[in-house]
Structure formats: structure tokens, C-alpha cells
Amino acid sequence: MPENNDARWYVVHTYSGYENKVASDLEKMVENRKMQELIIDIRIPTETVTEIKEDKTKEYERKIFPGYVFVKMIVTDDSWYVVRNIRGVTGFVGPGSKPVPLTDEEVANLGVDKHTIEVGYKQGDLINIIDGPLSGYKGTVTAVNLEAGSVNVNISMFGRETPVELELDQIALAD
């Protein structure tokens, strides 16, 4: 019986939009055929996107590689056959019919668990501050730092331009 540490990550190409169906069908097939030692993990690389528009925050999952499913498996005739014959699978990524494994580092670098934030404003936009002690002030965006979750804004206070740093969800585009 093969050892789990012999398992490698492979990329399976699917019809567009079939990634979730392929992953769930493959999980069921692994369970039914008791192939857990051969097919260890199945992932669809997604990222959580936080979208901030006006004063509403919305989070959703977005596929990083539409049309692909990552499978950690030990390639045998049986495991290859099972994966290859799931409805919606067009084949393994690699030359001809021979799947090419990825290293664990490559899988990690491909961003299997990535989180991005999209905001509805950019540098130079006129905004309203909608939350916090400066609520009600208007200003101009000078910088957006998505990694830190902050935005720098110049506001007019006491007749002078004053730079302030706010959280991404404390401002909205001015009407």
C-alpha cells in the first residue's frame, strides 16, 4: 500500500463552471470506492473578495483559476482512471496523458487561500466620511492601502488641509 507522503498535487482541467461539481463528484467516488489512501485532498483555489461600495460591505468567493481543480493523489492506474472519468473533467494538465505533479511550494505560491479587498474608490476621488469621530466631513483620497485595510484622506478642518488615516469601510464615494 502506498504511503501518503508519496502523494503529489496535480492540476485537473474541467469544463468552465464545472469545478464544484467535479470536486464533489470526485469526493463521492473516492468515498464509494474507498480510495482515501490514493486521493488525499481535492481543492478549488478560491479567494475571498471583500467589496466596499458606498456604505455596504459584501464578501464573496471567487475562483482563482476557473476551469481547474487541484487534486493531491498518488497516481496509479485506478486513481488516474477515476479522476479522468469524472463527468466534466477534460484531463490532467501536462503533456499527453501523463499528469505532471506540482510541488507543495508551487501550490502554496499559487494562492490557494488568498484574500483580496476591492473598494469603490481610488486616489483622487472625493469621498464622505460615514463612520467614526470625523463622520460628516468630506475629503479627497490620497492613498489606499488594501494590505493594511486603511485609506489616507485629506480633509478641510479649521480652514487647513489635514491628512487623516481611516479604515476602508469608514468612507464612501461622494455623490
pLDDT tens-digit readout, 46-94: 888 888 887 788 888 888 889 999 999 999 999 999 999 999 999 998 8
Q: How confident is the model at residue 100 (pLDDT cuts 50, 70, 90)?
A: confident
Instruction: Provide the whole-model pTM.
Output: 0.62
User: Which residues fall within 8 angstroms of residue 23, CB to CB, at 6 or more apart?
Assistant: 42, 43, 44, 69
Counting Cβ atoms within 10 Å, is residue 122 exposed (0-12), middle (13-18) or buried (19+)? exposed
Q: What is the DSSP letter of 9?
A: E
Euclidean distance between CA atoms 82 and 131, whole angstroms: 54
Whole-number pLDDT of residue 125 = 92
Question: What are the structural domains, with CATH classification, of the chain?
Answer: 4-117 (3.30.70.940), 120-173 (2.30.30.30)
Q: Return d(Cα 59, Cα 160) in angstroms, integer.
A: 37
Residue 1 has pLDDT above 50, yes or no: no
Average confidence score pLDDT of the chain: 86
